[in-house]
Amino acid sequence: MDFTLLALGIAAAGFFIGDGLKNFKNPNAKSFMDNIRENDDHELIKEKEIHHFLGIPKEDAESLIQEYPDIPHLRINNKVYYPKEKLRKWLINYGE
C-alpha cells in the first residue's frame, strides 16, 4: 500500500514537472491551473451556495437576488443556478 502511494506521488510530480518544462520557454503558455480556471467558466452555482461565491452572508445574498432580478441565472427543474462566468461579468459591470 505504501509503495503504491509513493509511486502515485512520483507519477504526479513527474506530470507537473514535465508540464512545466514543456512550456518553459513559452511565456504565453497556459499553466495547469489556468486550464482548470478556464474549465470552470461553464460551472453553475446553486442558489443556496451563491453567498460562498460572492463572499457575503447568506441573508445579504438573498437580499441582493431579490433587489436585482436581472442577475444572470438559469432555472432548471424548478431550481435556480447561476453561471459562474456570467455572474462574474455582471458583478464587474454592476460595480462600475
Sorted by sequence, the CB contacts under 8 Å of residue 58 that are 6+ apart come out as 51
CATH of the domain at 94: 1.10.10
Residue 15 domain boundaries: 1-25+32-39
- The pLDDT tens digits for 20-78 are 666 666 666 666 556 555 656 678 999 999 989 888 999 999 998 999 988 999 999 99
pLDDT tens, 15-36?
767 666 666 666 666 665 565 5
For residue 3, name the pLDDT band (cuts at 50, 70, 90): confident
- CB 44, CB 82: distance < 8 Å: yes
pTM of the entire structure? 0.56
Give the per-residue pLDDT at 20: 62
Amino acid symbol at 15: F
Instruction: Count the domains in the chain.
Output: 2
